[in-house]
Amino acid sequence: MASPRFGDALGHGMSDKRIDILRGIARSGSISQAARDASVSYKAAWQAVATLTNLAGVPLVARAVGGSGGGGASLTAHGVQLLDMADALDAARRVVQAQGAASGAGTAAARLAGRTSMRNQLPVVVSAIETAGRVVRVVMDIGGRQRIAARITRESTELLGLAEGLPAIALCKATAVRIEAAASSRGGAGSARRRTGNRIEGVVVGVARDAGGDEITMALEEGLRVVGFAEHSAGLRGRQRVVASVDEAGVVVALPG
């Protein structure tokens, strides 16, 4: 059984509503109600659960489908443990913020709690750092079998203290991820260009169709999720093997809080 990575989930989730979603599920036994309580959409609530689960590395929410009550959701033992830790961390943070306000440093500390719109947030481990002039290529392992790389500046590498073996989080916007059928991603005129970027393999587990482009959620063998877009004409469907492509310059490297 995987060991929980609660530090990743807590360090990333306290600056937005993800932890609030878990609290709402614990309180109401419903993801829909938790979404309403947090003033977010049902889809956003599920995305919050998926992101925290990715970061924690263990299931946090158990969903019951059907039945006389119409189904519902509840926290797993790990989910309850994460909330207990979040409450303790929140209490400690309030003490620190109060001390900062008294010393005049409260505003500066508040700016350190960043938010991000990036839906793809993958726990990784730095496996290689390749320097070419002012640009550094950071190669990161996703679970062990697949890799994702980012191109960042030398200064960013130094400020983050990146080194081989360091746990990190790879982030990229869903709109920067292009997904296509695995068979069509091999060969063809554009295959050489695609090989210079990131190519991550997985299986379709969700499709939201739109004439301008389908939003695809794919599952990796490592148990993680990646969201991206495919041409509507591709007609991707559930359980189909696909490849996600994203430019290395579009990947951001972050460190767990």
pLDDT digits (tens, 9 = 90+) for 204-240: 999 999 988 999 999 998 789 999 999 999 999 999 9
The verdict on 218 and 160 lying in the same domain is no
Largest CA-CA distance found in the chain, in angstroms, rounded: 64
Structural domains counted in the chain:
3
- Domain assignment present for residue 250? The answer is no
The verdict on 27 and 77 lying in the same domain is yes
The verdict on 44 and 95 lying in the same domain is yes
The verdict on 181 and 211 lying in the same domain is yes
- Domain assignment present for residue 49? The answer is yes
- Domain assignment present for residue 180? The answer is yes
Instruction: Tell me the pLDDT tens digit for each residue of 63-103.
Output: 876 544 445 899 999 999 999 998 888 787 677 667 766 66
Domain span including residue 139:
122-172
Mean of per-residue pLDDT scores for the chain: 83
Alpha-carbon torsion 189, 203, 6, 89, what sign?
Answer: positive
The verdict on 12 and 54 lying in the same domain is yes
Q: How confident is the model at residue 249 (pLDDT cuts 50, 70, 90)?
A: very high
The verdict on 130 and 195 lying in the same domain is no
SS3 166: coil
Return phi, psi of residue 147, to 5°.
Answer: -135, 155
The verdict on 65 and 49 lying in the same domain is yes
- Domain assignment present for residue 255? The answer is no
Determine the residue type at 38: A
Return phi, psi of residue 79, to 5°.
Answer: -65, -40
The verdict on 99 and 15 lying in the same domain is yes
The kind and range of the H/E element at 24 are: helix 18-28
- Domain assignment present for residue 256? The answer is no
The verdict on 22 and 96 lying in the same domain is yes
> Which residues have a Cβ under 8 Å from the Cβ of 67 and sit 6 or more positions away?
none
CATH code, 53: 1.10.10.10
Return phi, psi of residue 140, to 5°.
Answer: -130, 140
CATH code, 165: 2.40.50.100
CA atoms within 13 A on the CB side of 16: 18
Q: How, if at all, do strands 198-208 and 135-142 pair?
A: unpaired
- Domain assignment present for residue 116? The answer is no
